[in-house]
Amino acid sequence: MSKPSKKNKSAQKKQSAMLMYIGIGAAVIAVVGGSAYFYFVQRSQAIKGILGAAAVIPQEAQVVMAFNTKADPWNKLAQFGTPASQKLIGEGITKSPLNSLLVQSKTEYSRDVQPWLEGYIMTALVPNAAQPQAPAATLVIAPTRDRSKSDAFLLKYREALTQQGARFTSKQYKDVTYYESPSRDPNNSVVTADIGGQYVAIATSPTLIQQAIDTYKGSNPSLAKKPIFAKIYSATNQTKITEPLLQVYLDGEVALEFIGSQAKLNLNEAAIAQSRRELDAMTLTGGTQKEGLRFEINTYLKNDNSNPLANNEAKVLNLLPQETFLLVSGVNLYQSWQSLVSQAKGNASSAQLIDQIRKTVKDSTKLDLDQDILKWMNGEFAIAAIPNNQGVLANPGFGFVAIAQTSDQTAAKNALEKIDKAAQSTSGGLLPKGVELKPKQIGDKSVVAWAIGNTNVATRGTLDNNFVFWSMGDLADMFVPKPARTLPESSPFQILTTGIPKSNGGYFYLNMTTALSLADRLLPPEVKSNPNFTEIRSVLDAINGIAVTSTNVDTKTTRLDFLFTLKPTPGN
């Protein structure tokens, strides 16, 4: 059993099917940390409840994953995806650690594993208190409903490894027998045990197996008794997903560092130290709903958030036309910017990026980004992309609009007039060169058009409810004074946001079908024929759209909801 890196025909048919379902899940979890997930997947399946299995896991565990082993939830995954994306996933299955483990141990999932598994299986990374700088050891716990069958699996597993050079010796610890062998990695062992006839345990360290035995017997505190873990997984409303396929727990001490290592992000020590001070835990939950795949990421703070952004049912969405295919929205852009600035302190690269953004805005507009532009943006805001092939937008086929709500109309008016003057006098940079300001009437709204010759390159003006806007080209004609049909009224938006909170702190929304259609127009042939792009495109073609919302659950808890709406497989 390796440690993860900071990285009969009927029986075979059933095993192949289960492997395919697991593989589909593996492809999705890769979005949030693929290598960690594949490591987890190789451990098979089962338990009667997360808290039940956590009763055997030492409280020091910092990364814990629970994997649903029921067939029905995974069967639902087979309803989604294109033939090309399923083929890609199938190829990944052949190379997956789970398949490698079954081949290595000469076992079949349906014959040797499934008969004794039930519910969830859990895997945990547990640090060694005596060697805190050493990599965490791995513990897999799988409650068994049939001790004789699980014992037979462990025996077959050890025999197969012995044929490949392993040297297992039996040892006793507090009346429990475990089997240990050196591995090819000098820092790890392969250790197996049956604990109390209730749990199958596999670990990379004999010390960790002994800790698990102590935990089972009650002489070592269990993860199930850890206050934040118990609070999360005993709550009836912990997740909105009906039957999760995967649940991940990250202790606040390692959460950011672990995510950074899986995503190959270069996080500095200041950011990691801050997360350790403020973060109690993070969780990820994944599963299916009728439209596709649903994920939730919860962040739990140690102390109350002193200045949380309010949840609301966004009015700004009603200012956008139904054709909108890309949206980023939120509340109080100025407060969000201030939070970013605060978090960047002590992080040289982030602070440098913020200074560069400020300088670019200053050089192009002669305005102070913080005081002249962002400070009055204290209401709702949205940045959206809308298909349009008129005028200056004929070539790209779409344009952007930025909308912001303010409680200080005077400050907003002054800032926009200053930007107008900067556009008139600019020699290039962020703003187009040679702009002439022209009044324009759209319905009952008077707006200002930025024109170069007879072509409008942008339009800016005011909307109802203290909103101001700036848009490319003549895009304003689609939503001023108001759109004929709004984004929330559109069928794609309603489908792509099914079940995610309507009262939230902001949206990310992408209609993938429209986006890919536009990409086909813009991307050169050499890019579209590139094998890497072709592989990525086969996955994107299986997605109808993506929606994400951020919600403040309470003063200590924030949740991100993700919905990947997928195309059904042929025949579904």
Instruction: Tell me the per-residue pLDDT of 511-558, one tens digit each, with 9 for 90 and over.
Output: 999 999 999 999 999 998 898 898 888 889 999 999 999 999 999 999
Structure-block tokens of residue 26? 């593996």
Does pLDDT of 84 surpass 80?
Answer: no
Structure-block tokens of residue 404? 């912001």
Q: Are 51 and 103 in contact (CB under 8 A)?
A: no
- DSSP output for 145-203: S-HHHHHHHHHHHHHHHHHTT---EEEEETTEEEEEEE-SSTT-EEEEEEETTTEEEEE
DSSP character for 45?
A: -
Q: How much is the mean pLDDT over the chain?
A: 85
Distance, in Å, from the CA atom of 44 to the CA atom of 200, rounded to the nearest integer, reads: 11
CA angle 316, 319, 323 (to 5 degrees): 115
Instruction: Give the mean model confidence (pLDDT) for residues 378-399.
Output: 96
**Helix (H) or strand (E) segment spanning residue 213:** helix 206-217
Rg for the chain, CA atoms, rounded? 28
Q: Write the pLDDT tens digit of every residue in 223-281.
A: 999 999 999 999 877 888 988 989 999 999 999 888 888 888 777 787 888 889 999 99
Q: Which residue has the tokens 């039957």?
A: 243
Residue 532 has φ and ψ, to the nearest 5°, of -65, -40
Does pLDDT of 386 surpass 90?
Answer: yes
Q: Which residues on adjacent β-strands are paired with residue 169?
A: 180
Q: Are 426 and 432 in contact (CB under 8 A)?
A: yes
Per domain, the residue ranges of the chain are 9-298, 312-554
Does pLDDT of 431 surpass 70?
Answer: no
Sign of CA dihedral 273, 275, 281, 283: negative
- Range ranked top by mean pLDDT from 34-43, 425-434, 490-499: 490-499
Measured CA distances, 468 to 189, 222, 324, 413 (Å): 64, 55, 18, 9
Distance, in Å, from the CA atom of 509 to the CA atom of 252, rounded to the nearest integer, reads: 29
Sign of CA dihedral 486, 553, 508, 477: positive
Does pLDDT of 70 surpass 90?
Answer: no
| Mode of pairing for the β-strands spanning 137-143 and 199-203 | antiparallel
Neighbouring CB atoms inside 10 A of 372's CB total 18
Q: Are 405 and 467 in contact (CB under 8 A)?
A: yes
**What local confidence, expressed as pLDDT, does residue 88 receive?**
64
Does pLDDT of 57 surpass 80?
Answer: yes
Q: Residue 5 — pLDDT band, cuts 50, 70, 90?
A: very low
